[in-house]
Amino acid sequence: MARMSDLESVFCRTALWRAWARRAVLPRVLPRGLSGEVLEIGCGSGAMAAEVLRSVPDIERYVATDVDPAMVARARRELGEFAARAEVLEVDAAGLPFADASFDAVVSWLMLHHTITWEQVLADAARVLRPGGLLAGYDLPDSRQSRVVHRLTRSTVRMVAADDLAAELRGLGLSDIEVRPLGVAGAYGFSARR
């Protein structure tokens, strides 16, 4: 099973990461029209989930998931103020325990490269989307810099090239596919509709 390195795990729990998520990341990646029932795969510490919930009052239910029990515990604390419309579950993104067509949106914030089987994760995300549902997120490119950073942090990853991601989304039969650079650390955003 893939997991973040200890260094990445600690960093994702810091105030610095929460501030970065709020000020630099969210304005670039938050999709328009996000509403209804939203599933986040790989929520980590819950920092992005909290910022999304603060920014989008039209979200009725937000289900944040992660495979790491320590991250799930941290995310539960982070999302405590949103208990009426958010829950955090320990779930493997490569085997989502939700029925077909369960969510209006599925989001993934900087975690696909940690799943190793990212194609399977995307297929399962598409499966749980309702017709017309939105799949959106961002990730790091398959670049020399990304590979070096993850090697130095001893993180288990399989980087996702933007072109490969777009091809996979097309292969899943999704439409309105967009993969675009974000201008932050080489990251790219993506979105598609079922």
pLDDT tens-digit series, residues 96-146: 999 999 999 999 988 887 787 899 999 999 999 999 999 999 887 765 665
User: Residue 144: which residues within 8 A CB-CB, separation 6 or more?
Assistant: none
Q: 162 pLDDT exceeds 60?
A: yes
User: Does residue 142 or residue 93 have the better pLDDT?
Assistant: 93
pLDDT at residue 155, as a whole number: 61
Q: 1 pLDDT exceeds 60?
A: no
Q: 8 pLDDT exceeds 70?
A: no
- With cut-offs at 50, 70 and 90, classify the pLDDT of residue 147: low
Question: Letter for the amino acid at 123?
Answer: A
pLDDT tens-digit series, residues 75-91: 999 999 999 999 999 99
Is residue 114 within 8 Å of residue 87, measured between CB atoms? no
C-alpha distance from residue 178 to each of 13, 14, 35, 108, 148 (Å): 30, 31, 19, 15, 27
Antiparallel, parallel or unpaired: β 188-193 and 175-181: antiparallel
pLDDT at residue 10, as a whole number: 59
What does pTM read for this prediction?
A: 0.86
Q: 156 pLDDT exceeds 80?
A: no
C-alpha distance from residue 138 to each of 81, 82, 101, 113 (Å): 25, 23, 22, 10
% pLDDT > 70, the chain: 79
Task: Report the pLDDT averaged over residues 25-52.
Answer: 89
